[in-house]
A and B are shown apart, each in its own frame.
Chain A
Amino acid sequence: AQSVTQLGSHVSVSEGALVLLRCNYSSSVPPYLFWYVQYPNQGLQLLLKYTTGATLVKGINGFEAEFKKSETSFHLTKPSAHMSDAAEYFCAVKDDKLIFGTGTRLQVFP
């Protein structure tokens, strides 16, 4: 069965600092991987996805993620955090259904 582990339930960064949110997956087949963002009191919005091809995937709002098969990782990064990036971030792997990680809350301090 596929699974997702997000390391760190809370991440705090200063505005302008690098954002790194970690995600490791377990899958017996080539995975489809996703990052979703949830702003307060809103639904989930797709940030980016990896299916096949280029392992560095660019998403919305300046985020990107790199699929590393050898490390079974799909970490999310952004070079410079903005206050508006404060939200809950979910990594997910697709089996016959989407399996979500437990989420990482990103706080951005001025």
Chain B
Amino acid sequence: DTAVSQTPKYLVTQMGNDKSIKCEQNLGHDTMYWYKQDSKKFLKIMFSYNNKELIINETVPNRFSPKSPDKAHLNLHINSLELGDSAVYFCASSFTGTSGSGEQFFGPGTRLTVL
């Protein structure tokens, strides 16, 4: 009964490859997010989707493309992987209502290593 799940947990790949990370939430939330955590533990939002619609798109290379097939899923596809893409990627979800605080629930992370 995991709330926010991500696959895979670890991903090791060569430079130039294309890879995807999947995220699913069973909390009934309407908003999902992707964050990148670098080696210094700094967390930065990359994308946010509300009801399958992109609402936040931070300054992220266009090699990164999120896709939300439905409210419960948000996938992240990365083309032409670079060394600097090595990081931990976290998925999160929240309910974005007018009366709520919008607290976010995080997945366990995907550690991406680009060689």
Contacts and interface: CB of A to CB of B under 8 A. Distances in A.
Contacts of A63: none
Contacts of B106: 36, 43-45
13 contacts: A42-B108, A42-B109, A43-B109, A44-B92, A46-B105, A49-B101, A49-B103, A88-B41, A97-B45, A98-B45, A98-B104, A102-B40, A103-B41
Interface residues of A, number: 22
Q: 3 smallest A-B Cβ distances: which pairs?
A: A43-B106, A44-B106, A100-B43
B107 interface: yes
Given A51-B101, A96-B56, A98-B104, A43 B45 contact: no
Contacts of A25: none
Interface string A29-55: 000101010100111111001010000
A71 B28 CA distance: 37
B57 to A, nearest CB: 11
| Interface size of B as a range | 20 to 34
Interface string B33-51: 1000000111111001000
A75 interface: no
Given A88-B41, A97-B56, A103-B42, A44 B101 contact: no
A65 to B, nearest CB: 14
Interface string B15-44: 000000000000000000100000011111
A94 interface: yes
Interface in B63-109: 90, 92, 101-109
Contacts of A97: 33, 45, 48, 56
B53 to A, nearest CB: 14
A100 B38 CA distance: 13
